[in-house]
Each structure stands twice: as structure tokens, then as C-alpha cells.
Amino acid sequence: MNGLGGWNRSENGVVIGLVQINTPVIRDREDLARQAEVIAGYVGKARRGLSTMDLVVFPEYALHGMSLETHDGVTSDLDGPEVAVFRRACIEHRIWGCFSIMERNPHGKPFNVGIVIDDQGEAKLYYRKMHPWVPIEPWEPGDQGIPVIDGPNGAKLALIICHDGMFPEMAREAAYKGAEILLRTAGYGACVREPWRFTNQANAFCNLMVTASVCLAGTDGSADSMGEAMVCNFDGTIVTHATGGNPGEIVSAEVRPDLVREARRGWGMENNIYQFGHRGFSAVAGGAQDCPYSYMTDLAAGRYRLP
């Protein structure tokens, strides 16, 4: 079910638009300012194109491009001019937005940050990417966990960035903290097209959670990005998927957080988010609730070592 991309919106639905914005070339602050206005223009396009849309989502690197430069001339601040442009766009077009910035860090390398701004221009979610794509990305790893917020129409919303989604623990943590919709923004190229698809589906199914994911599209003359915007339902089925990678395309779908809640309450079989902490509840009252996973206990104890 996707409500014909959100046109036939239900009372309990949340309509999400995923923008496959073209990979920009950013050299200096003037380029940053121009690209911020390009992004704001797409916020307006999203609203004009689909009046029912609740949330428009931009990929990782939509503002800064793929140069991976870390100097102050191409990084941003949360209270800086680029984010101010995003705030104004959300207010003007009465829509929530998810945006990407490379945030200046006076104490080290920049943080790769995602923010969600509501339709009043208030930053509701701030997330630092926990798993930079090493050895390629120079960003300092996030240190503030995965926040979960009350998003549009009361949906519980979380955000992870690109490589984060390759770690099943990231999606599980978001679901454990209550997320019903997991956004994943990325700048991936075609080399990870298949892992992108099956991890988005697995993250949804294994946690009874909607996943909505989008990459950059097109090329900056050096790096190619794949688009591949997709929404997966909580049973792992693909609701919508843009396989063409068209730069500038906005892929939309309606999702139903109320059905996520219903499944988490009522499913017995394959309710893995519950069963993970209640193993074998058919045989043991309440299920076994110990932690049998050595990698978890070792990591918590500071002795994580691979064989």
C-alpha cells in the first residue's frame, strides 16, 4: 500500500517524499549558499507537486557534495546560513524536511549530521553519523546515539545515514527506542546497489518498521551516485522503488505507522523486535531474557576483539 504515491492519503498515513537530488560540486562558501537555495527550491517543488506530503527527505551530501573536504570553507554550523535557508523553506511550504550537513567541529574532524526540521522551522532531530564509511570518509564518528522523535502525524521517527544501515544493530536500536519510520540518507554509488536494497528490506522486516531511504543521483564529474530511493513496509515488502536513478526525481509513498504499532502489539510469529528479548516464550514463561551474545557483552565491557 502506498496510496498511489500519497495522492490517496489515509487519516493515519504519513506521506514521504525522497529527493534524488543531483550530486553537487562544492568548492567554497558561495557554492554552499547556491546549493542551499537549490535544496530550498526542491522543498517547494515537493509541496507544489504533492499537496498531501508531510515530510521531504534529502540525501546525505545533498548540500556539500562528495569532495570530502573538511576545511571550514565547506562545512556548516547548525545555526549557520545554510540551515537557516532550510528552516525558511519548511516554514514557507508548511512541510517537514530532512537535511544533511557536514558540521564544523572545532575539536576535531567535522561531523556528518542529519537534521529534521518541522513545518514551523524548528529543528526536531539532530543526529551525528555513527559509522562513517571507512576508509573513505574523514568524519568523526557520532557520539550521541540515535534520537527518536515525534514526527508528522504523530509518527515515531528516527534517522541513520548511509553506512549506518549496514549494521543491523543501528536499525534495532532505533526500533527499540520506539521508531516506527526509519529514514536512511546516503551518497552511495552503484557498487553497493544490491546491499542497499536488501539491508533496507531486512532492517524493515527484522524490526517491524517502515524504512524510507534515498541516495544522491547523477554525477559531479568524478563520483557517480545511484538514486535508488525506496520505501519498505514493516513486513519487508517494497512499497515503492526508483530503479532509474533519475536526478531530481521525487519518489513518494504513504506509510502507515498505526499498522506498525498494530503488528508490534499483535504479531506472534516473526515479531523479532519482541522475540529478541523473550527467546522461546512458547516454552518458557515470558521467554529467556538473558544476553547470550558475546559480541554484545564484550563490546560493553571494552574487550571487543575479532578472532
| 112, β-bridge pairs | 102
Concatenating the DSSP letter of every residue in 252-273 gives EEEE-HHHHHHHHHH--TT-HH
Which amino acid would we find at residue 251? V
Fold of 3-267: Nitrilase/N-carbamoyl-D-aminoacid amidohydrolase (3.60.110)
How is the chain split into domains, by residue range? Answer: 3-267, 277-307
Look up the pTM and report it: 0.96
| Active site residue ranges | 60, 129, 162
* 133, 167 contact by CB (below 8 A): no
Distance CA 90, CA 19 (A): 15
Q: What is the pLDDT along the chain (307 residues), one digit of tens a residue?
A: 567 788 888 999 999 999 999 999 999 999 999 999 999 999 999 999 999 999 999 999 999 999 999 999 999 999 999 999 999 999 999 999 999 999 999 999 999 999 999 999 999 999 999 999 999 999 999 999 999 999 999 999 999 999 999 999 999 999 999 999 999 999 998 889 999 999 999 999 999 999 999 999 998 888 889 999 999 999 999 999 998 789 999 999 999 999 999 999 999 999 999 999 999 999 999 999 999 999 999 999 999 999 9
Distance CA 26, CA 32 (A): 6
